Structure formats: C-alpha cells, structure tokens
A and B are shown apart, each in its own frame.
Chain A
Amino acid sequence: GENVEQHPSTLSVQEGDSAVIKCTYSDSASNYFPWYKQELGKGPQLIIDIRSNVGEKKDQRIAVTLNKTAKHFSLHITETQPEDSAVYFCAAYSGGGADGLTFGKGTHLIIQP
C-alpha cells in the first residue's frame, strides 16, 4: 500500500519568515495530494490540494509543489503569522475508492513572535 513520510515533525520559524514542510510518497499511481491544517481542539481542515497533472498551485500565502518523478511534494507558507501555528498533515490518494487516502504523521508548526 501507499506510504507517506512527512518532515520535519516540528518546525519553529520567526513571524514573517517562510516555512516549508516536505512529504514523500511511495505509490507512483497516487494522483491527488491534499494538505490539512489542524488547530488545537479542532478537526483537520483542507487548506490546499494539488493533482498529479499540475506541478505547482498557489493560494495567497500558501503554495504546494509536486515532483512526480521524485515522488515528493511540499507545502510552502510565506510571511508566516501567529495564526499559522498548527499541525499540518499531508496526504496522498492512490485511487481504489473511498479508502485510498494515506496521511503523513504531521508537522507541528510554531510561529515565534
């Protein structure tokens, strides 16, 4: 089955700096890669996603890049703000139906004032 590795497990950056979280996946058939943000006491919320026919996608301060050859994808957050502090999860969908989404272990992003 699919295996998703996520790094780092904890990331601390100064407010205003950029943050990058990286994930690798094992199944070359995976074609959809969502990123979720989980704030304290809440469930994960989808913040951005990318499909395998696209190399990069941006939404204001958030961007995701995908390298299908290397089987890795990354989340980039620019001009970080205190409200960006949360746990971020990457995931990869390898098809096969409703059960085909595999999550990484998560990255705890801490924004230092």
Chain B
Amino acid sequence: ETGVTQTPRHLVMGMTNKKSLKCEQHLGHNAMYWYKQSAKKPLELMFVYSLEERVENNSVPSRFSPECPNSSHLFLHLHTLQPEDSALYLCASSQVPTGASYNEQFFGPGTRLTVL
C-alpha cells in the first residue's frame, strides 16, 4: 500500500449505530487530518493531530471522536449521528510545518458516509 488509505470506502448507518472510520498513511508523515466534504461547501477541517497530539478541534460535535494511536493511523469514531452528518470524510497527512514553511497535504480517497 502506498500513500493514504481509508476504510471503509462506503458506509451506511442508522442514527443509533456506532461505527469507526480508519485512515492509514504510508508516507512517513507526522501530522494527520480529518476533513468533512459536503456538497457545495468548502472542505471543513474537523481534527488535526500533530506528532500524535490533537491540536485543533474546530467545535466539532462530540458525536465525532478522533483517535490517533500512532503517527501512521487515525480513526474517527462515530455514534448517534444525524442525517446532516452524511458526507464524504477525507483523511490527509503531511509533515508538520516548521517556521514559515508548509508541506503539502496528501489526501486519501475518502469514506462516503450516509446516515439514515
């Protein structure tokens, strides 16, 4: 496997279910991200992990719970979601920016989530 992988690619769940999205990066990066992509909206940054520590929450509802056990893996745990949470969830990774530099983010293919 190369790059950033995400599983599952598609997920349908009821509002009372609990599920988890998984992301794995094979690029040796030390920062990982969760984004939400809804139709006709900008990419919404949900969570950032830099050196395995969460650095940004962006007021995401508590029904989304991230986990980063190591620099290569990132999870998004889902519970009691709402239909408006249906979207494409994208994972990305990068090197942690240092000083005035910035290294590009590499995205996975996303998980298409439908909440019934």
Contacts and interface: CB of A to CB of B under 8 A. Distances in A.
A13 interface: no
Contact of A100 (B40, B43, B97, B109): B97
A95 B4 contact: no
Contact of B56 (A46, A99, A103): A99
A105 B42 CA distance: 4
A99 to B, nearest CB: 4
Given A103-B43, A105-B40, A98 B31 contact: yes
Given A49-B104, A97-B55, A98-B55, A43 B42 contact: no
Contact of A43 (B31, B56, B90, B102): B90
A36 B92 CA distance: 13
A97 B103 CA distance: 11
Interface in A77-95: 89, 93, 95
A34 B90 contact: no
Contacts of B33: 98
**Interface size classification for chain B:** 20 to 34
A31 B90 CA distance: 24
Interface residues of A, number: 26
A31 B101 CA distance: 8
Given A98-B48, A98-B55, A43 B107 contact: yes
B55 A99 contact: yes
Interface in B41-71: 41-43, 45, 48, 50, 55-56, 58
A94 to B, nearest CB: 10
In the A-B complex, the 7 residue pairs with the closest CB atoms: A43-B107, A99-B56, A32-B102, A103-B43, A98-B50, A98-B31, A93-B102
